[in-house]
Chains A and B, each alone.
Chain A
Amino acid sequence: MNKPIFQISPGFEEIMPPEYRDLVANGPYGKGFGVGDLGAYKELVEEHPLCAGCGLALSIRLALASLPNPEDTVVVGSTGCSSLVFPQVALHNIHSLFGNQNAVASGLKRALKLRFPDKEKDVVVIAGDGATADIGLDMVMQSWFRRERITTIMLDNEAYANTGGQESGMSRQGTVLNMAPTGKKFPKASIPEVAQAAGCAYVAATSPAHPKKLEKAVRRAVLIAREVGPTYIQLLSPCPTNYKFKPHETIPLIKQREKEGTFQNQEYISEEAQRFLDSLEEARKK
């Protein structure tokens, strides 16, 4: 990629940190990499401070590796554990406040459209379950009502992890968490259904237990958001620290949830989005 953003000004090569130079030489920009290439290039996430075994870390790593055009993707995050990762992510990314991510993304996407009318600039929101389903739900849904051309990814760890493990709207009924001392009194919110009803052209629920599924969902979501309408992905990303399980149990826990039927991988594609995916497939075959 020889856009100026991926170049170091002459004379500054030695001043830039080694891992930045590595990004310039071996980053994924413009290379069309996917999760299958992980390990063979310099990833977008530098070392991060999340806990060992954190489901969020797995989801973020895979989601970023699945972006169809990282070289033209801007990420909008929100407050929460994930906001500790994004300063180390080599994509332009915005973190302003807790819950306002979809409103920020709406303005951003429109401004980028005005400034770069002939170029696709993908805007992807990546935020926690509290940010998405509780404090920011209003703005998340309104961005869907307005059919903003953005992708919204929820990192669902079923709690407010960053503030010490409180109940969120995505926690399951009965779970004892901080601020739910006798167990949560109402069921987990079904945001995929809300997303469909609110106008999303593509909705998926999956997890880092299925990297290929996750990759497919992210690619579809980003491409559909460009051409058809808003898209939503929910990634179950368990939190070992607040749910008190061992770091190596994160993926087995997801699989156990699938077995029990307390978590299902889902995908919804609107008719228009399906026609669009078919047209991409046609074009690829030619």
Chain B
Amino acid sequence: MSRQQIADPQHLLFEAPRHQSFITGSEAVAEAVKRANVDMAIAYPITPQSESMHLVGELYEQGYIKDFYRAENEFAVMAAIHGASLGGGRVFTATSGPGTLRAMEMFPVWAGARQPIVCAFMCRGVSLPPSIQPENIEMGMLLDTGMLMLHAEDGQDFHDMILKGFVVAEQPDVHLPVGVFVDGFFATHTKDRVMLPPADLKLPPYDPRSAPVPTFDMETPPMRVTRDPLLNKSNFISGSANASWHQEILAAAERSRRHLRKCLGGLLEVQNPGAKIMIVASGTAVSQSREALRLLRAEGMEVGLIKIKSIRPFPEAELAEATDHADLIVVPEFNAGGWLGREVKAALDNNRRVISAPRIFGGMSMPPGLIVETIKGAMGTKKRTAAGV
């Protein structure tokens, strides 16, 4: 292991000269973890996550991570990660589809315990029928767990969002878990150009004293944290205590917007802002939409594209502003449920403008032509409606 210097996050993330690499998304994960000064990682294998965590295991072997083990199942992984974080460690793990659902009960616990855990999700289908193919339905199931959710489009995003995830998660006024999501295989198993910061730099170590909640180490006061169980008491005091704790989790997520804007350059990104037809997408559906834009432009149609980078918090205000002038808003996504379409509809006025399609699931890649057809079909419908047919 080459000796790493501690770098100011601002320098590591934005200023240090980057060099170009040609790597898979899984390798991009390991490159991020290598620079994140992680104390401990825990893993349980599942396709398409496994490659990343093999590489993270190698980082442990090379001395970049201080402790690492293969746990017994994903619920136990997330529980042990929770324990390690409560003990004051900076932790990382990753999983996919069925692993996410197996671990489900732990995610609200992370947020409730105000833990700056960073977890990567290499999204895939969930059974039945069984599928190891890309799909991101699990994201729709995690929307209200209290964790911050970033959706990476490609290897570059995946790398950057993991590294930046630690920085945002650990802000004293945030201190919440960050999930970094990609559409499995598309982004994990394909090679792409990724610009990497120097490998001899790493983030400063996590300082548990910056946490808004005490670390469980018998060093951090107070020695007795509470006085009464909040549990099982149906009275005004415990109800209020419980509710205000939840409100504070939501408020912390709101406060994260400021940090996310700085780190990600905005919660969303707009291409062709003036177009009357806008595509709103996240993850690899953005890449497919870029291709659809190219096809449409060749036919002389101007269409805009909004890439949503942060799903939680959701950029409601930015989205409303960016679509204010639009007549038609198309939301393509990689799942059968259409959770992004619902989010978009809930954020906008006059949401009949929103077409929540195409939805691709079962493991197919999304043909850009299908996005084009959806747009043309919707325009046809609109014309007919306008003509009163």
State the A residues within 8 Å of B (CB): 3-7, 9, 17, 20, 23, 27, 29, 46, 49, 71-74, 76, 83-84, 86-94, 96-97, 100, 103-116, 121, 138-139, 142, 146
Contact = CB atoms under 8 A, between A and B. Distances in A.
A115 B220 contact: no
- Enumerate the 9 nearest inter-chain pairs by beta-carbon distance, A residue then B residue, closest first: A107-B83, A111-B87, A107-B80, A107-B84, A111-B89, A104-B83, A108-B83, A103-B79, A100-B79
A196 B218 CA distance: 30
Nearest to B226: A87
A98 to B, nearest CB: 9
B214 interface: yes
Contacts of B227: 17, 46, 87-88
Interface of B: 39-40, 42, 66-67, 69, 71-73, 75-77, 79-89, 91, 105-106, 109, 113, 214, 216-232
18 contacts: A3-B219, A7-B221, A49-B229, A87-B225, A87-B229, A87-B231, A88-B228, A91-B223, A91-B224, A92-B214, A104-B82, A107-B42, A108-B216, A111-B84, A111-B87, A111-B91, A138-B73, A142-B71
B222 A107 contact: no
A237 B320 CA distance: 60
A111 B221 contact: no
Contacts of B228: 87-88
A78 B85 CA distance: 18
Contacts of B39: 111, 114
B234 to A, nearest CB: 13
B216 A92 contact: yes
A152 to B, nearest CB: 14
A116 B217 contact: yes
A139 B69 contact: no
Nearest to A29: B223
Contacts of B222: 5, 20
Contacts of A4: 219, 221
Given A71-B218, A114-B66, 6 more contacts: A29-B223, A88-B227, A91-B218, A92-B216, A104-B80, A109-B83
Contacts of A91: 218, 223-224
